[in-house]
Chains A and B, each alone.
Chain A
Amino acid sequence: MTLNRNPKKSRPYDEPPKRRRRLIPDGADSAAIGFFVASAIWLAVATGIGALAIGIRLIPLELSFPLGLFDLSFEFDRRRVDYAFINATVFGWLTNAGFAAIAFMVPRLFGRSLAGIQLVNLAMLIWNMALAGGIAGLYVFDLGPNAALSAMPWLFEGGLATAALIVTGSFLATAGASIRTGYVSAWFAGVALLGLAGLLGLNATIGLVELFIELPALTVALASVFVERALVTIWLLGIAYATLHYVVPRATGQALASGGLAILTWLTWLALAPASALATLQDTSVPFIFTTLGSVATILLLVPAALAFVNLVQSMQGRWTLLFGTGTLAFAAVSLAFLLAASLLEGIGSLRTVDQAIGGTDWERGVFLWAAYGAFSFAAFALAEHAMPRVLRRAWGAGPLASAQLWLAFAGTTLAGLALMGGGLAEGSLRAAGTAPDAIDAALLLYRVPAFLGFGMVALAGLAMLVNLFLMYTSGEPVEYAIPGQASPAAAGH
């Protein structure tokens, strides 16, 4: 008897049952993939909101209409759009990319699968749902005296803190006792994660306490500005250092130039990053020496940036041609350049005399743009460029999209940052010269238009990344890479 092998004639019950997909996947790299995809989507969202934030400085627009629910209304104004942009950038794009970096790097650094992978995937869902809800809430609920990264309703902040705790727990369980002898990237990532979980926990706790006790507005405001700054210096900066120290040796295929320099970079960052946040506590109730100490720490953050720059550039020796492509090393080099420049500008801006002249102007937004969309984003791009083929087992498509992503993001961030910083300087000097407000606004238009155009280019770069990722997933050439903790028939390096 012969079996009918014609698939057209086979009936449903002749087919073996299809494997059901689990709601929460547990593949070795599923967390890294999930966080990478989420980060790419948030990048497109954040850059869109960012272009809108600059746009409503050119054409002022405020909207308010009732939602017909519990007397709630949708409020659209400059502060809410700014806050949504900062949250989408920091928690949406950069933090998802940071979690992806951890989910990708840690198993490879310690040679074992990420502990509690299903929990980490659950954390990814919690994080992104809480963030989407929180950002929507920014347009509905009272923002209070909070800075941008503490302004979400406490329920959503609690969701973010829970997700961050899960990822931190998974990291610690994976690294275990090996962390002491681990590579410096794991140290950067570990401290950064602990800082993120702690700061988000503080945010959520304050929000929860406020439900029962009315805290003084000043206390809440001081805590929120501290948390906002510390999230940038501890979490975002830490994960950028972790990423860059990981990808540069991998992309060049040669050893890190100096382990001693890397440890000195880590030690100086560890000491200065938390202290730098003290500079934001500028209030009469805070001792002057604390804020001065914060300003000094901000200036000194140039030291770890310079050390990392030298160490990683030395690690590129003999591989300079890789800088001229659109691969990992090109992204990493741009990130390093922005990191050094942003650290220098942050240091200059924290000098008290400079701060008095340009504080509150577009200068601060320009420096933030260079740090977030220059230094941190390009580090994330570099890791994505390196990691995505390894987790999806598909090659990036060769084409104009990768070039578009690199050059649009680079040119757009440079232009928008320069324009905003120039506008800030102009605003400071015009105010000091006693120029009338209308004339100042007219003068700032010359800076804000190029800033808008520049940020539009960054938004296009975000779209290019998303499309490139989609094309890679759907039609990329298959490639084989090893998975930590699993047998691999054709390890092509990782």
Chain B
Amino acid sequence: MATATLTQERENYLNQSYGIKSWLLTTDHKRIALLYLVSITFFFFIGGFFALLIRLELLTPAGDLVLADTYNKLFSMHGQVMIFFFLIPSIPAVLGNFLVPLMIGAKDLAFPRINLLSWYLYIIAGLTYIHCMLTGGVDTGWTFYTPFSTAFSNTKVIEAGLAIFVAGFSSILTGLNFVVTIHRMRAPGMTWTRLPLFIWAHYATSIIQLLGTPVLAVTLVLVVLERALHLGIFDPARGGDPLLFQHLFWFYSHPAVYIMILPAMGVVTEIVPCFSRKRIFGYKFVAMSSIAIAVFGFLVWAHHMFVAGISLYSALIFSMLSYMVAVPSAIKVFNWTATMYKGSISFSTPMLYAFGFIGLFTMGGLTGLFLACLGIDPHVHDTYFVIAHFHYIMVGGAVMGYLGGMHFWWPKISGRMYPEGWGRLAALIVFVGFNLTFFPQFVLGYLGMPRRYWDYSHSPEFQVLNVLSTAGASVLGVGYVLPMVYFLWSMRYGKPASDNPWNAAGLEWQTTSPPPTFNFEETPMVNFEAYDYEHIPEPEVAVER
């Protein structure tokens, strides 16, 4: 029965069975989501540790903290860990896995065992990468440019490449699962236009994962073969073409950034209506903008290569297309803002993260206009301007979206409330720390500091901005540690959550917190539109004090 006393815990997916086997052999999408949560958090802190060392080294112009080769490994592995082992899985594998079946009224994903396989592939990839790190690491940059990676680097390129290859299959299978689930397992009455926009965002993300990741996979295979057998596919000394590598690499790696941002946009699109008590403004436009980003995202890859040696005319076309892909993102920002108009707004932690996302994503996105511009890119390409741009989107955008989503759905996932005061404080610290870390880097980049520089003693004028950036990074680090601490705390001491503490719309809130293993007592029948806040009363207390 739905009602239960506090002294007698209802059966839910967490307490339904105990023991390590019940977790490691689970096919319950919710448990798999938690397995991913633990794994990606682990890698987040590894990547974060590398970032800390990088920022410490850059406090002074001289390379005096670590050796040059070590620094080169640090930034390479920071990038690879953060992108392949944290950002790409993060929202889809944790929040997506947990919520996609719940939001559409299904009992599980279409292929639960493949879902578990996804996680095991991720773990195999992760362990391989850890072994690579412990036995020397890799120093090619996350981009593996040839011929440096195939013929000059003395580090574990093959092992890193293989680890990322396996991680790619984890990503592909997750995407495959989501697409089939969304197509075939929606509850009766859940038409496409009644789907939460979180689902649309994950659908678009999954399309990219399916079509883009295999190209990275085959490119890594060719890099590994070339390095192992001294072939001449990408190495000009043996008759190959290094630009071919770059085209193949960026054909995936550009859409990959949309894999990283679209889910976060989906999260924000759930949070803003809830804490404005209003339906989203322009549902169809927001849904279509996700699809447009996925499609156009495949057409712009060579904007990473404007000064790489491509032809003038290629550059023109890719620049123009890059401006077109900016439009759907802009539409989303306007729609979120318009949703707040004449709303009834409260400032819960998820909403604070959503505000942070909108602000920082807007800034990051606007700086993308600089990079897409053929007049500006030759100056700022491969400088700290680019680093600032993508961190604004990946960290200011995707990570804040992830944290906002974790706070929003934490009651559903754990059955507990996190401490709201600490939540808001952490959100503020993250926002301030983030801006202090990365805004100076825009200026630094325009001044000309190239990226991937271990030592800048020839240019001491770069120091002040680097010091500011490192100071910000220490603040940002605190902001990230806090949620980990209080989420863990809340699992034992947090206030038990009701089924729908936010009075939010969405099928996931119609079941218990935490949900039972089968998600719903009875299959839901959907006869209402998405974001039906008109018919949902406001919560008694807006947010927990």
Does B bind A?
no
A: which residues have CB within 8 A of B? Answer: none
B: which residues have CB within 8 A of A? Answer: none
